[in-house]
Amino acid sequence: MIQHLTVLLRVLTVAAFPSVAPHVTSDEPEPKPYNQVVTGDAQTRRGLFITHRIGARLLYEIPRAVLGKDMWLTSRIVRTSESTLSGANSNGRIIRWEQRGQHILIYQVDLSGRVDSTTVIARGVEKHSYPVILVALPIQAYGPDSAPVIDVTHLFATPIREFEGPQGGSDPDRSFLESVRTFPENIEVEATLTLPGGGPDGATVTRLHHWSMLKLPDHPMQPRLADPRLSYLSLETIDYNDPERPPRPRKFIKRFRLECSARREGPLCYPVKPITFYVAPEMPPWLVPWVKRAVMRWEPALEMAGFKQGIVVKDPPSKAEDPDWSAEDARYSVIQWVNGNGFGGGGTKNDPRTGETLQGVAGLGDGYLRVYLRNMYWAEAGAMDPRALRVPFPDSLMGRLVQAVLEHEVGHALGFDHNMKASAMYPLDSIRNKDFVHRMGFTPSVMDYAYFNWIAQPEDRMALDDLIFRIGPYDMWAVHWGYAPIPAARTPEEEWPTLDRWAREQDTHPWLRYATLNGRRFSGNGNTLDVRENMTQQVGDAEPVRAARLGLKNLRRLVPLLLPATTHPEGDARDLQDLNELYDAVVDQWANEVRTPIVLIAGIETQEKSSSQPGPRYIPVSGVRQREALRFLLDEVLQPPTFLLDQHVLARIGPDAGIGRLSEVQQGIIGELLDVSRIRRLVEIEATAGQTDDIYPALAYLTDVQRGVWSELAMPSVRVNIFRRRVQGAYLGAMAQIVEKGGTPGDANADVGMLVRSDLQSLHDALAAALGKSADPMTHAYLAESLRIVDHVLHPSASTIPTRGAGD
């Protein structure tokens, strides 16, 4: 446990607060006798606070022993008149109830620091810490043990934002208290709130709002220090204890409290309290078995961490068994079902002192099933799975897909962030080996977005269940790292040598690696540069060009299956909706796959390491691989993808569904290829490269892009179709923007502007030469307009000439 001399930084309690009480007017009533306030018709319940319901009013009687205790307050929308219910909790805050004179003040407190209470530093930190006063409530009466009684009705019936109420406030004439339940560690309150202008377009909405207030543990869990080499979500604290150094941030991982009881079974111990999830009562019954399987798929990982039955999943108790049970109760971790268009998710609520997960939430909504999961599986695995050849899918397939997604969401509840690097940690050939995939999965972590194995081919004879992602070796190893007890360690610092030794297993087992700290710092656009981290919904991205070619083979197989999959003898307009959705899913998958190789260009491979681990953290991608990626994009993407233009399909859903969407993707790829930060990185890599390094010089790159995008200009007879005109128009627009933004000498982008102008001059000459080779009037007009635009970019005049591109 935390040493007794080290306490979590808190603002001072009542005795140390400045002696300025809230302003009280002379006519403000003094506390009344108890029986005049808590009358005989009060409905009283005892728990953390004593609660009294008197008609529409709610009174709190706060025991003296609870004043000054830190509590976590959060809220959630349970029901709403809106079409969509997210079901998500608010972020919550830590509050403390204190008495000042004849008032109860509710403070928001900051527990993000650690300081030794016996030091001068502690006095200095406390002197400069001051809490926010959220609410000041007059004391109505005192209970038999001098417990103050306050009226809190308006905190819930007309709540303020600072008390986790809705934005904008509620109408008191149409808002009222519904229920209150108090327990030894928490209080649960619900109210109906009507919010004028609170909905879309200023519409009035009514919501059932739920508040949970949970007392933080009296005995904090020993925290575990976060390590950037692993994917744990974390909380940051500030350590003030070192007088020789400025305050330094420290991070603790988010995790449930698992502690060994005396009961053991071989090397495993039974936990004092297992991680327990409940299935929400509104979960569709046909999905419940799949939900339970998703939770219990994590049991072997917790066994690796040393716990027998470390995680369990339960049905909620019936009203007869527990009339007060609620899925919104802060004490319970719940697998939720979200109605409407909600998609669900996963997350935690944590003790800010230690990172202990007080409540884990995972969920899924019918919007995810209807809009996303079915369509994504069809586009990614439909060529491999005969069950997906017609929609709707059988329940057995949809249930299995739900199970996989909930394994991911429960992972978030256990404390994990996404691990986008995982899908690049297996060799591509291994991902096509059915025996390897059956044993190891096609990605080592369920926390990646590599949902389905879209590079597997029919000849690989993959088991159908192995097409779906699942908990993998990284997840098992990371659970052990975060949850396994280290009995000899009495402090987080004493745990570190063991944790560091475990983390170094990444050196010899690449599939255990996670993202690189500060990788986004180098990218210039918010993404990480690591070619193995910067791709979502990818499979086999250790070799992204090969992976993309394999994925395209499966998409070519799928397009002819679109009509048979969505046409039924008794069909109606819903068949056309299904056709539209599945076609969009195929195009989206095409866009996802063909973008994969872009990250190789000016990309970097990384491995997070501690300061004592040998070897580099950052290695540029070789020039050979970058050129291969560009050649793929020029040949397979920026040429018309005719296989997606199936005339039988487009005749049903509209011809522009193909041309417009595909052109949009192609133009987006041009923008990525000519992104200033990408070209600048090529310049910087070239400047720092050694003589023997395999690089891709920026000027050579720009020349290759131009020749590929404008390849028609080298033909004996020049003809440019509508797809290519739009691609080339996007090229001109991107290049013009770079020139227009310019850059002064010495500026980071000055070299980029110089290279782009040189490249445009060569394009100008090529366009001029191609004009006389035009094969049709449309092409001639287009080339003349393109030449005019390039000339204007290079030699701007007083006239305004559009520079978006002649093919727009």
Q: Is the pLDDT reported for residue 524 higher than 80? A: no
Q: Which amino acid is at 36?
A: Q
Would residue 659 count as lying in a domain?
no
Does 407 share its domain with 480? yes
Largest CA distance in the chain: 102
For residues 279 and 288, the answer to whether their CB atoms sit within 8 Å is yes
Nearest to 348 by CA among 259, 409, 273: 409
User: Which range (338-347, 382-391, 667-676) has the least confidence?
Assistant: 338-347
Does 392 share its domain with 282? yes
Q: Is the pLDDT reported for residue 6 higher than 60? A: no
Quick: pLDDT tens for 581-611.
999 999 999 999 998 899 899 988 877 777 7
Would residue 263 count as lying in a domain?
no
Would residue 663 count as lying in a domain?
no
What's the pLDDT score for residue 627?
96
Does 22 share its domain with 143? yes
What's the pLDDT score for residue 115?
59
Mean pLDDT of 253-278: 97
What's the pLDDT score for residue 127?
57
pLDDT band at 304 (very low <50, low <70, confident <90, very high): very high
pLDDT band at 617 (very low <50, low <70, confident <90, very high): confident
pLDDT band at 356 (very low <50, low <70, confident <90, very high): very high
Does 714 share its domain with 647? no
The whole-chain average pLDDT of the chain stands at 87
Does 498 share its domain with 638? no
Mean pLDDT of 208-217: 95
Scanning 238-371, the segments in alpha helix (DSSP H) are: 288-296, 299-304, 366-367
If one counts every other C-beta atom within 10 angstroms of the C-beta of residue 54, the result is 17
Would residue 786 count as lying in a domain?
yes
Would residue 360 count as lying in a domain?
yes
If one counts every other C-beta atom within 10 angstroms of the C-beta of residue 721, the result is 13
What residue ranges in 674-724 does DSSP mark as E strands? none
Does 504 share its domain with 367? yes
Domain closes at, from 472, 493, 513: 513
Residues of the domain holding 630: 515-654
Does 640 share its domain with 728? no
Q: Is the pLDDT reported for residue 4 higher than 50? A: no
For residues 278 and 332, the answer to whether their CB atoms sit within 8 Å is yes
Q: Is 386 exposed, middle or buried (0-12, 13-18, 19+ CB in 10 A)?
A: exposed
Does 372 share its domain with 439? yes
With pLDDT > 70 as the criterion, what percentage of the chain qualifies?
A: 87
Would residue 1 count as lying in a domain?
no
Burial 663-690 (b: 16+ CB within 10 A, else e): bebbbebbeebbbbbbbbbbbbbbeeee
Collapsing DSSP states into helix, strand and coil, what is residue 719?
coil
Q: DSSP for 608-673, please give it.
A: ---TTS-S-SEEEPPHHHHHHHHHHIIIIISS--GGG--HHHHHHH-THHHHHHHHHHHHHHHHHH
What's the pLDDT score for residue 108?
93
Would residue 695 count as lying in a domain?
yes
What's the pLDDT score for residue 535?
67
Which CA distances in Å does 22 have to 14, 104, 555? 13, 10, 69
- Could you tell me the pTM of the whole model? 0.88
User: Which range (97-101, 163-167, 661-665, 778-782) has the least confidence?
Assistant: 163-167
CA R_g for the chain: 31
Q: Is the pLDDT reported for residue 118 higher than 70? A: no
Does 116 share its domain with 174? yes
Does 49 share its domain with 175? yes
Instruction: Count the domains in the chain.
Output: 4
Mean pLDDT of 643-656: 86
For residues 175 and 192, the answer to whether their CB atoms sit within 8 Å is yes
Quick: pLDDT tens for 9-57.
333 333 333 333 344 444 566 899 999 999 999 999 999 999 999 999 9
Helix-then-strand count for the chain, H and E: 23, 24
Give, in degrees to the nearest 5, the angle at Cα 454 between 448 and 457: 140
Would residue 86 count as lying in a domain?
yes
Q: Is the pLDDT reported for residue 654 higher than 90? A: no
The contacts of residue 322 (CB under 8 Å, 6+ apart) are none
Q: In which residue are the tokens 């049991």 written?
A: 299
Does 307 share its domain with 196? no
Q: What are 458's two structure tokens?
A: 């029919």
Does 520 share its domain with 509? no
First vs last C-alpha separation in the chain: 65
What's the pLDDT score for residue 804?
47
Distance, CA of 600 to CA of 622 (rounded, Å): 9
For residues 271 and 484, the answer to whether their CB atoms sit within 8 Å is no
Quick: pLDDT tens for 325-337.
999 999 999 999 8
What's the pLDDT score for residue 155?
93
Mean pLDDT of 784-800: 83
Mean pLDDT of 265-274: 97
CA dihedral 213, 214, 216, 219 (to 10 degrees): 160
Scanning 744-776, the segments in alpha helix (DSSP H) are: 750-770
